[in-house]
């Protein structure tokens, strides 16, 4: 099955639409959470995703904050401003959608989580130490995570104690070898100094990982954020990708 793997859309519907069009025909969509937060179009992003019958979408920490499942004071002051703005924007339908999102999911040989298999919604997998520990918290060949907004692959050979980190090259297809934890990067707010939207196409039979970056209309998103009165730093970071 040709599977679109996306994460951290962050209410950026212009980036999401660009990715959906660029990805072409897919059999299913796996979204690893944080559909909302930071960006100007939370409801529109949810509406887009709901159009796909074969959608699996997880709960991210911003999604949890949006529906008061987590205390907003755990976020930094600027993130808090955007969360509080978003809480005033969400429709009943959006709140209903977020409320039914699971924290974790296992599909065939893949475990899905927003942050990590150990702490599905909140843990950041930034280094090989944290990744290595997390290999003990899932049993499938692969685990797909988001949350850091950094595309990365952690692999663990059977005889190894420590996992290895590699950064996939954009617009290249690789075959995933068990076992691995993979992050497709962020659709709506990349943080690896590459402002282009990130996503991957995973083939569930071949285990191929087609990792892609695509330009989208960043000034149009910034204009909407400015009009909504969202924090300046969140507006400017989009064009630099941090």
Residues at the contact surface with Zn ion, assessed by CB under 5 A: 8, 34
Taking the least distance from each CB to Zn ion, the nearer of 30 and 179 is 30
Least separation in angstroms between CB 119 and Zn ion: 15
Least separation in angstroms between CB 173 and Zn ion: 26
Which residue bears the tokens 């179009």?
Answer: 41
- Give the span between the Cα atoms of 91 and 13, in whole angstroms: 16
Taking the least distance from each CB to Zn ion, the nearer of 81 and 173 is 81
Least separation in angstroms between CB 10 and Zn ion: 6
Least separation in angstroms between CB 162 and Zn ion: 26
- Give the span between the Cα atoms of 35 and 155, in whole angstroms: 27
Taking the least distance from each CB to Zn ion, the nearer of 34 and 123 is 34
Taking the least distance from each CB to Zn ion, the nearer of 8 and 192 is 8
Q: Which residues pair with 205 in a beta bridge?
A: none
Least separation in angstroms between CB 147 and Zn ion: 6
Taking the least distance from each CB to Zn ion, the nearer of 14 and 64 is 64
Instruction: Describe the crossing of helices 13-23 and 218-228 by its angle, rounded to 10 degrees.
Output: 150
Residue number, nearest CB to Zn ion: 34
Taking the least distance from each CB to Zn ion, the nearer of 8 and 123 is 8
Least separation in angstroms between CB 35 and Zn ion: 10
- Give the span between the Cα atoms of 112 and 173, in whole angstroms: 20
The dihedrals phi and psi of 220, each to the nearest 5 degrees, come to -65, -40
Q: Using H for helix, E for strand and C for coil, what is the string for 122-184?
A: CCCCCCHHHHHHHHHHCCCCEEECCCCCCCEEEECCCCCCCCEEECCCCCEEEECCCCEEEEC
- Give the span between the Cα atoms of 165 and 114, in whole angstroms: 19
């Amino acid at each position: 099955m040709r599977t679109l793997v996306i994460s951290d859309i962050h209410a950026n519907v212009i980036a999401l639409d660009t990715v959906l069009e660029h990805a072409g025909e897919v059999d299913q969509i796996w979204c690893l959470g944080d559909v909302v937060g930071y960006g100007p179009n939370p409801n529109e992003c949810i509406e887009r995703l709901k159009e796909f019958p074969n959608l699996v979408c997880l709960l991210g920490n911003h999604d949890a904050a949006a529906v008061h499942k987590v205390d907003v004071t755990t976020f930094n002051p600027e993130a808090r401003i955007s969360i509080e703005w978003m809480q005033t924007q969400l429709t009943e339908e959006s709140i209903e959608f977020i409320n039914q999102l699971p924290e974790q999911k296992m599909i065939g040989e893949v475990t899905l989580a927003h942050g990590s298999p150990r702490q599905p919604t909140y843990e950041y997998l930034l280094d090989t130490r944290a990744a290595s520990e997390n290999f003990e918290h899932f049993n499938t060949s692969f685990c797909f995570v988001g949350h850091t907004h950094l595309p990365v692959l952690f692999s663990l050979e059977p005889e190894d104690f420590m996992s290895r980190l590699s950064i996939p090259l954009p617009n290249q297809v690789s075959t995933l070898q068990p076992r691995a934890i993979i992050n497709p990067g962020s659709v709506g707010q990349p943080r690896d100094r590459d402002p282009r939207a990130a996503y991957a196409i995973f083939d569930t039979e071949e285990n191929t990982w087609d990792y892609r970056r695509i330009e989208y209309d960043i000034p149009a998103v910034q204009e909407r954020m400015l009009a909504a009165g969202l924090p300046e730093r969140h507006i400017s970071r989009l064009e630099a990708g941090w």
